[in-house]
Every structure is written in C-alpha cells, then in structure tokens.
Amino acid sequence: MNFDLSQEHELIRQTVREFAEREIKPVAQELDEKAEFSPALTKRMGELGLFGMYLPEKYGGQGLDTLSYIIAVEELARVDGSQAATLAAHNSLGIGPLYYFGTEEQKKELLPKLCTGEALWSFGLTEPGAGSDSRGSKTTAEKVGDEWVINGSKIFITNGASDLNIGCTVQAVSANTDGKKQFTTIIVGSQTPGFKRMSMHNKMMWRASDTAELFFDDCRVPAENTLGKVGEGSKIMLTTLDAGRLSIAAMGLGAAQGAYELALAYALERKQFGQPIAKFQINAFKLADMAMKIELARNLLYKACWLKDEGRPFGMESAMAKLYCSEIAREVADEAVQIHGGYGLMKDYAVERFYRDQRLLQIGEGTSEIQRLVISRFIGC
Amino acid sequence: MKILILIGNVPDTTTKVKFNADRTAFDASGVQWIINPWDELALTRAMELKETSGGAVEAVVVANVGRAETEATLRKALAIGADKAIRIDADPKEAGYVASQLATIAAGYDLIMAGIEAADYNGNAVGGMLAEMLGMNSVSAVSGIQIENGQLKINREIDGGSQVVGLPMPLVAIVQKGIAKEPRIPAMRGIMMARSKPLEVVQPIDAAPMTNMVTFEMPPAKAACKMIAEDQAKDLIHLLRDEAKVL
C-alpha cells in the first residue's frame, strides 16, 4: 500500500494553491460581500487549464485523472467556496454529461470552448417541486416534427445565468405513460428563443458564484440536440451525480482544511489568561479532532477517486465521501468559529465566510439524507 | 541564443527553521521544498524573453546541484516552461563547490541567470563564482533584461537610482526583484508536458569545498514589547533617548 501522491499530483496541488492564495484570496471577501460573480477569475482558471482537466487533449482538456481534478477543487475550496463551486459545477455537471454521453459531433463543437474559461455550461435537473425526488420533475419535452418543445422551469442551477453561460443540459419528461415517466436529456443553447435565465440573489453562501433559475416556454431545439438516447435521462443524471459527488466532497474537504488552518493560526496567536488559547486543552483537543477528521475525509475521498480512475465501481464510496466530507466541513467550520470567539462572527475574518459557505454542501447534489439512502441501498438495507 | 537558469532547491519561505543537535546542519525533516524565489523570477523572465524574441531564444535550460529528491523542483521549472533540466547529482555543500559543479555544464550558453540570493543560506555567491570560473562577464543586482539587436540591455539598481547598461553576450546576470513581475504559475498543460521533457542527471566532479560550516546560531528571541500609555509621550522620549539611544 502506498499513500504517497505522485510528484505530478503534488505539483498540481502546489500550483492551484499558489493561484488561489495569490489571485483569489485577495478578492474573495469583496466578491462575497458584493455577491459578484467574477468572469476574470473564471477566465484565469481556464488559462491555467482547470476546466476540462480530465478531458482528452483532442477536446481541449489536459488528460489528467480524477484525483488531479479533485485536488484542484479542494485547493480552491481551501481559500474560497464560490470559486471552487464555479469550477466543480462546470467540470462535473456542465462538461461531464456532454463528455460521457455526447456524440462525437456534439463533443467537438462544445467541449473545446468549455475548457477555455470563456464559456460555461450548466446542468438543469432540480426544479421548484423536484429536489431530492428528482423523478418528480415537471419540465416536459414534447417531440413535434423533428424538434423538441420544452416547457417548465429549473432552480438552483450553478453557472446557469452569467454572461459566460452558453447553454444548459436539461432533464425533461419526454413521455408519461400510465404515470411511468420517461426522461430525456437535451442540449439547449442559451440564446434559444423561449429559454430565459435569471440569476438568483440573496444567497447565504457561494455568493460569488452564479446560481440561476431557468424558464422554458415553448422552447424549441432540433431533435439532434438530444444528449445520449431518448429515454436515457435517468441514467445520465445518476452517472453525472455519482461523479459530481466527488467534487462536492472535495469542496467539503477543502473548506474544512481552510477553516482548520484559520482556527489553528488564530489559536496560536490569540492570548487569554496569559497564554495562547491553543495551549488550553479544550482548544487543543478541538484542533486535534479537526485534524483527524480532515485526515479521514481525505483518505476516503482519494480512495473513491482512485476507484474511479481504476475503472471500478465507486458509487458507494463517492456517496460516503460526499456525506462525510460535507458533514465534517460543517463540524470543523463550526468549531473554527468557536475558537475565533466574537471575531469569528465578523465579516473581517474569513472564517465567517467558511461557516456560511459549507452549509450548502450537506444539501446540494444530494442531501446528506439522500446520501445515507444511497449508501444504505449499497449495503443491502 | 540559449539561456541557462540556475535553480536553487530551498525550504519554503514559511518554514520554521531547526538545526540538528550540534547545530552544524539544517534539520530538513518535514520541510516543503520550492524553487528559490529569485531563481523562479529569473525563469519567468527567461520564458517571457523566449516568447517575445521571435525565435531568437532557442532554448531555456534549468540546472541545479542536488540529489534525486530535488527533481520535483526541477519538474516545476519544466512545467513553468523550461525546455530541459540538468541535475548534478551531489549535495550542494557550499557556494564554491556548487559553482565548480555548474561550471562543468554551463559552457555554451549566451545568458546565464542566477538569483541574487538564495532563500536558504543567503550566500549571494554562486553566480559570481561561476562567471569567474567560466571566464565570463557578470553583472549583479539586475532588475531588468531586454534583448536588443543581439545585445543585452540591462537595468541595474544602484544607490539612489537605477542604471541601464548595454552588454554583449555571453553574460552571467545575477538578478533581483523586478526582473519579472511575479513568478509564473504553471498551467495544467505545462505540468502534463513536463512529464516528457528531458531531465538529464550528470555525475559530479571532485571539487574541494572552499568553506566548511562551523556552527549555526538562531537569532536572539525578540525582547518583550514595552507598552506606553497614549498620554505618556515623555516616557516614550525617555526610552528612545536614554535606553534605546536612537534619538
């Protein structure tokens, strides 16, 4: 058994960390406060080759493995959840389904631009009435001649409405026979008539990432915009979410690491009763627990990535990693605020942003409850 | 033209420095190693020169003296864009020894750049020694390099101002802050390409060290800070004049 990362993985970590520290950290608080999505940072991520990292070079990617990509998300999340969200959503949900299920023609047309950082793609699954119960989708796609006519709406769609967004993969009910729904996934360009995109405001977390509401009103696209086969929508969704869980897990791990480092540095510096508060056993043990949880989370997540890269089943491990990493992100961020005391409640201290940003992770891309359901089915309950 | 960049493998600048028990060697356990920041700036400038020279710069090569574990640092230099790396397989004992080793591979380059100091022992010596051994000209405190009509135009920082000098090649430039704006962050493509770029390992020659390390001392701990109440300016004057003797 060998737990060492390769020299290349270490270099990727060092590189993304340098980028995050140097270019994201100085602006993270301001972007968060203004709830401003940054096209400039998105473009920089494209220049560094973070979008489509795991795609072959012929589609504009870098040909790297899953672990490389996960380390990149982790390192961004260690500094800022919003930018990590832009990267994770675009890679896993935007690019992922197009790459795994697109025709050669669709891939050649879309993927190279989606790797540049100048164009983003979103994945339209969640609806106002269909969250955990994704089969409750009401958005329909009706075949009229050689076109799909789409009607309905989607909500909480990351990267869905900024100026950089050029389209969405939409999950729609394409047939409904005796209450048995058939799902089809369809590619919709952002400029298609009848497709309206609106940014959602007043979020508690990921305030510098773009979250959208999408509306389809007799939105017509050619039948060849079908992604995969007609009726394959559920499979595409489940496969996409399996891989997407790894990147949400990476966000949890990164957020926990970032919050822990802030807490440790603060505890070593802050003095009360004549000594650094890290010297009080109650705080030292908190920090020890944080370090242990992060170590466990990292091992679990990296193992799930390894399974995926080996071409082995990884569905259960990715659900476990998503669940564990997101839950420890909450625990660690919560204790990190506690260690900061009153200062932890102030926006001048980054730990306040970590505390808010982690809260999505137990909800997005399958709630903690749904992850437990997934795991329980794998173990035969 | 060909450019050679001398790469130091140094502890990350946030490393907590420790020494062995008899204080004759740096304790390297748990240390994260990086490219010496001044060398990284030199490499960044070399890449800029290569990209804007319209083919005049044919190759940028990086070299260091170090054991196999320093290859990660060289791979990073390759990821940033260097075409080739050379590692001389020896412990970088001290400046004279390191310069002697580098002299065996450094002939034939038109421009050699070395960082003005190293973030580890702060020797500020290898570049000058190497120039002397190779019989090349050298310029220190270089904060800018341009190539103009086959010559080098070099900015130097001097007391109270700066100086621009024109120099023929070959040349050893000992570079400092300002040579490049910021060290370049490698792109993922660069990291992928670094895999297949040549990293040549060269055996060292016998060279007697010119110095030997006697002992290291840590700087004295900071004295306690004296706080003076805001309405007690007199006390402050007294402390500055009579105790610190700076007034």
In chain A, ranges of CATH 1.20.140.10 domains: 235-378
Contact A62 B192 (CB under 8 A): yes
Per residue in B69-80, pLDDT (tens digit) is 999 999 999 999
Is B68 part of the contact surface with chain A (CB cutoff 8 Å)? Answer: no
Mutate which: B74, B188, B196, vs A, most A CBs within 10 A: B188
Is A10 part of the contact surface with chain B (CB cutoff 8 Å)? Answer: yes
Residue A148 has pLDDT above 80, yes or no: yes
**Catalytic residue positions of A, numbered:** 365
Q: In chain A, whose CA is at the least distance from the CA of B187?
A: A48
- Structure pTM? 0.90
Residue A132 has pLDDT above 90, yes or no: no
CATH topology of domain A121-230: Butyryl-CoA Dehydrogenase, subunit A; domain 2 (2.40.110)
In A, which residues are within 8 Å of B191 by CB distance?
A: 8, 11-12, 15
DSSP conformational letter for A127: B
pLDDT band at residue B194, thresholds of 50, 70 and 90? very high
Domain boundaries along the sequence of chain B: 2-218
According to CATH, what is the number of the domain A7-120?
A: 1.10.540.10
pLDDT value of position A324: 98
pLDDT band at residue A135, thresholds of 50, 70 and 90? confident
Per residue in A344-365, pLDDT (tens digit) is 999 999 999 999 999 999 999 9
ipTM of the complex: 0.86
In B, which residues are within 8 Å of A47 by CB distance?
A: 187
Per residue in A291-340, pLDDT (tens digit) is 999 999 999 999 999 999 999 999 999 999 999 999 999 999 999 999 99
pLDDT value of position B225: 81
CATH architecture of A235-378: Up-down Bundle (1.20)
CATH topology of domain B2-218: Rossmann fold (3.40.50)
Q: Which of A324, A329, A294, A299 is nearest to A81 (CA)?
A: A329
Per residue in A227-255, pLDDT (tens digit) is 999 999 989 988 898 889 999 999 999 99
Instruction: Tell me, letter by letter, the H, E, C secondary structure of chain B.
Output: CEEEEECCEEECCCCCCCECCCCCCECCCCCCEEECHHHHHHHHHHHHHHHHCCCCCCEEEEEEECCHHHHHHHHHHHHHCCCEEEEECCCCCCHHHHHHHHHCCCCCCCEEEEECCCCCCCCCCHHHHHHHHHCCEEEEEEEEEEEECCEEEEEEEECCEEEEEEECCCEEEEECCCCCCCCCCCCHHHHHHHCCCCEEEECCCCCCCCCCCCCCCCCCCCCCCCCCCCCCHHHHHHHHHHHCCCC
pLDDT value of position A301: 98
Provide, rounded to the nearest whole percent, the portion of chain A with pLDDT above 70.
100
* Residue B20 to chain A, least CA–CA distance (Å): 25
* Residue A276 to chain B, least CA–CA distance (Å): 16
Per residue in A44-57, pLDDT (tens digit) is 999 999 999 999 99
pLDDT value of position A163: 96
Amino acid letter at A69?
Answer: Y
Q: In chain A, whose CA is at the least distance from the CA of B78?
A: A11
- Give the residue-averaged pLDDT of A105-120: 97
In B, which residues are within 8 Å of A8 by CB distance?
A: 75, 191, 195
Q: What is the mean pLDDT of chain B?
A: 92
Query: Taking the CA atoms of chain A, what radius of gyration do you get in angstroms?
Result: 21
pLDDT value of position A377: 97
Distance from chain centroid for Cα B82: 16
In B, which residues are within 8 Å of A15 by CB distance?
A: 79, 185-186, 188, 191
Q: In chain A, whose CA is at the least distance from the CA of B69?
A: A7
pLDDT value of position A66: 95
In chain A, ranges of CATH 1.10.540.10 domains: 7-120
Contact B186 A15 (CB under 8 A): yes
pLDDT value of position A326: 98
* Residue among B72, B182, B191 minimizing CB distance to A15: B191
Q: B151-158 and B84-88: which strand pairing?
A: unpaired
Q: What is the mean pLDDT of chain A?
A: 96
Please list, in sequence order, all residues whose beta carbon lies within 8 angstroms of the beta carbon of residue A98, skipping any fewer than 6 positions away: A106, A107, A110, A111, A114, A121, A169, A187, A227
User: Which one has a higher pLDDT value, A282 or B222?
Assistant: A282
pLDDT value of position A241: 87
